[in-house]
Amino acid sequence: MSTEYGLLLPHFGPETDRDRIIEGARRAERMGFDSVWVRDHLVFHPHGMEGTDNTFIDPFVVLAALGSATTKIKLGFGSLIPHRHPILLALMLNSLGYMAGDRLLLSLGLGTFQQEFDAIGMGEWPRDEVVREQVAILRKICNGDHVSWEGGKFYRFQDVGIKPKYPSKLEIWYAGATPASVRRALEYCDGWLPGRITLATYRKRVEKLRSGADAQGRPRLHEGCIPITSIDKDRKTAIEKVNLDGLLSNANKQKFWVKPASGSFRTAEDLEGSFIAGSPEDIVNEVRKFIEIGIDHIVFDLRFRFDAWDRSIELLGTEVVPRLRKIQLTARPVGPVQ
């Protein structure tokens, strides 16, 4: 299977714009991108590196609009967080799948911000256990079964069924970058989708993911990532357009990332993999490193370049993705990372 390429949509922050979202998705479809993606928040508090604007458009509303505005590009949830009741979530997923067609990509994760769960009375709920139970319920309800859930720790209900059912077999990717995220993906998911993650950390996690799948006798899980991306005429200009200090500060807070040789993240080069920046040729060379590991899906996160959204799509769509699709590997890895 060849690597697929997607875009994170500008549905949050100061550059949020309805036309930019809709026309950008249409342009991405015309230019041959495989997918467009959304984030999920209930009470949006931007990461420090993003600024302070808390504009945020609900992910289901965005993808419902794009289900009508586009015809074939896949519609991805970068990470749904577990603040919705699973019956409601199943209804929303099945309804969106029915209206948009069989082109949804779904990942679930724990979420980052405690205040979102405090705001709705879930602050004391152990989110890792909540996600596990939600996934188990979704797999039954979304596929059209009438479900009675009596022994759950967080949810109990009788004889619930939803029609129409999900348009295909429900596949769920686990969203996270920690060692625990790999364990959870292997336990109850079909894929693993970290957001920002350095190449060295990604390689380490993938080794565990593939060896774990082999030990379980199951097929290899889907693998992807969502690197911060800045494309411009050269690397220096591309780096100048992002909050590099904020990215470095955020990286140094990641307890489970593989550290650079210096012991801390100090330069753009230290962020290799989590931050991809430069000319089209630079972007190709950086993404190639993930392809050589055998990645299935890369989502370009242009959050720092949403002000140059159209130009960035144009450059990626004409000068990067076509070249990446031509890369022929003599042996694309399917087992342990070489």
Write the CATH number for 144: 3.20.20.30
Residue range 83-93: mean pLDDT, rounded: 97
Q: How far apart are CA 215 and CA 299, in angstroms?
A: 29
Helical H segments across 79-176, by residue range: 86-100, 114-118, 127-141
N- to C-terminal Cα distance for the chain?
Answer: 18
The predicted pLDDT at position 48 comes to: 77
Does any domain span residue 245? Answer: yes
Q: Which residue has the tokens 């949810």?
A: 155
**The pLDDT of residue 331 is above 90:** no
Q: How far apart are CA 10 and CA 93, in angstroms?
A: 21
36 — pLDDT class (breaks 50, 70, 90):
very high
**The pLDDT of residue 164 is above 80:** yes
Give per-residue pLDDT as tens, 209-233: 999 999 999 999 999 999 999 999 9
Mean pLDDT for all residues in the chain = 95
Per DSSP, what are the bridge partners of residue 77? 38, 106
Does any domain span residue 213? Answer: yes
Give the number of domains in the chain.
1
Does any domain span residue 218? Answer: yes
User: Which tokens in the block code for residue 319?
Assistant: 């000068």
> Whole-prediction pTM value?
0.95
User: Which tokens in the block code for residue 270?
Assistant: 């230290």
The predicted pLDDT at position 204 comes to: 98
> Strand 104-108 and strand 275-278: pairing?
unpaired
Does any domain span residue 333? Answer: no
**The pLDDT of residue 298 is above 60:** yes
E strand or H helix at 79: strand 74-80
Does any domain span residue 294? Answer: yes
The predicted pLDDT at position 66 comes to: 99
**The pLDDT of residue 335 is above 70:** no
Does any domain span residue 335? Answer: no
Q: How far apart are CA 176 and CA 164, in angstroms?
A: 30
Residue range 114-131: mean pLDDT, rounded: 93
**The pLDDT of residue 329 is above 70:** no
Alpha-carbon dihedral sign for residues 252, 253, 259, 263 = positive
The predicted pLDDT at position 145 comes to: 84
Please count the residues of the chain: 338
330 — pLDDT class (breaks 50, 70, 90):
very low
Residue 62 belongs to what domain range? 4-326
333 — pLDDT class (breaks 50, 70, 90):
low
Angstrom distances, CA of residue 294 to CA of 17, 122, 228: 35, 38, 19
Does any domain span residue 117? Answer: yes
Cβ pair 2, 42 in contact under 8 A: no
